[in-house]
A and B are shown apart, each in its own frame.
Chain A
């Protein structure tokens, strides 16, 4: 349990909120962009808010990027992408021109405008939604009933392989709200801002992976 959780700093996102939430469930985490600290990490959280290209180019030029890549892909160290951090795990995004990490095969697409207006819904999808758990995962172990999470996004994941789809949610239509493949996980919502549900999710990531 005394494993080191590293919140990856690449100049994008909600780092302090994640650290605060982990602290509230008794887990210490470090926010860093130091290659040595990243190399010593036992678990990674990849946060992120904002535009895809800005995020991926910042991450790729972070001083620890090659270390992170080898820790995750070769040594299979668990990584949890949050919001934009989850989208960066994909191969591409309609929001940007640059390729994503492609750590899980799939792409990120925009909420279809026509389908949204059919339901009189506005984009971004901003607010609380319940999620449907599509496959058993330690991440959702002993979660309170009908877990709901806070979303803010205009784009969502589409998996290439259905087996990688972890959860879905509904906004106008059912969309992929989380992915998991081996040691790599991504969730579209903000667990750090999702009360007891988010706290449990981080606790599970910290203790069960």
Chain B
């Protein structure tokens, strides 16, 4: 039997956890420490915490909050948001974070990816790639919480990041974000084929079948936001995670 990592993604904004719909319409979920404690109890595989304001507000990473979250996370933790220097990387990893994720900085200063990989190892480096269809329907990479079009395809950017030393790609579809309509399997498949590092699928998960399909399309791990913190049909807040049995039956045994 093969296990794949099933990863909740928490978005931080002003110290709270929020969840977006297509990177808009933010809904308040709760306190990050509390959310992490619940995920501890549910023995989640890993968590990703992304501060979606840190770059846009130019405040950079909030080390104190990161440290508090890391102190409660007895599972692997990835932090992303507003990281622009090697010094910040060092501080964040020291606090008990396993991996750092780069989005805007990966585009603006690819040298930081190289340096981080050289100093802390590729397995500590995640590049978060957000993809959205532009006005002409072409899928392009957007940075800074989806606000800026790089006019580059995910394949091109993922390859460049692999060469720079990234250990993992977190591949997110902005158009699917929060919709529960399933992953963009075509996107996952083309990026996973283009690089040899693990691709983590994100954006659109609504069921265990979606996780399965993402893995069959080439994802090495699957991630979701809304699926773990909101309940349909009214987007009511409910923090959940499938049990070991559900994962075994619904995901591992089928891949």
**Residues of A in contact with B (beta carbons under 8 Å apart):** 14-17, 20-21, 24, 49-51, 122, 124, 126-129, 148, 150, 152, 154, 190, 192-196, 198-199
Contacts and interface: CB of A to CB of B under 8 A. Distances in A.
A178 B77 CA distance: 23
Given A49-B120, A51-B121, A127 B74 contact: no
Contact of B3 (A17, A49, A129): A129
Nearest to B45: A128
A127 B221 contact: yes
Interface string B150-192: 0000000000000000011000000000000000000000000
Nearest to B122: A124
Given A124-B167, A128-B3, A196-B43, A17 B70 contact: yes
22 contacts: A15-B94, A16-B95, A17-B70, A20-B70, A24-B74, A49-B121, A51-B121, A122-B196, A122-B198, A122-B220, A126-B5, A127-B4, A150-B75, A150-B76, A152-B76, A152-B123, A192-B74, A193-B77, A194-B75, A195-B74, A196-B43, A199-B74
Contacts of B94: 15-16
A60 B115 CA distance: 24
Contact of A21 (B45, B74, B120, B221): B74
B96 A198 contact: no
A124 B123 contact: yes
Interface in B7-48: 40, 43, 45-46
Interface string B126-167: 000000000000000000000000000000000000000001
Nearest to B71: A20
A194 B93 CA distance: 17
Contacts of B220: 122, 126
A123 to B, nearest CB: 9
B5 A128 contact: yes
Most buried by A among B3, B74, B93, B120: B74
B197 interface: yes
Given A127-B5, A150-B75, A16 B123 contact: no
A24 B122 CA distance: 29
Contacts of A51: 121
**Interface size bucket, B side?**
20 to 34
Interface in B68-82: 70-71, 73-77
A181 B123 CA distance: 29
A14 B167 CA distance: 18
A49 B94 CA distance: 11
Nearest to B119: A50
B98 A14 contact: yes
Contacts of B73: 193
A196 B198 CA distance: 26
Contacts of A195: 40, 43, 74-75
Contacts of B122: 124
Contacts of A129: 3
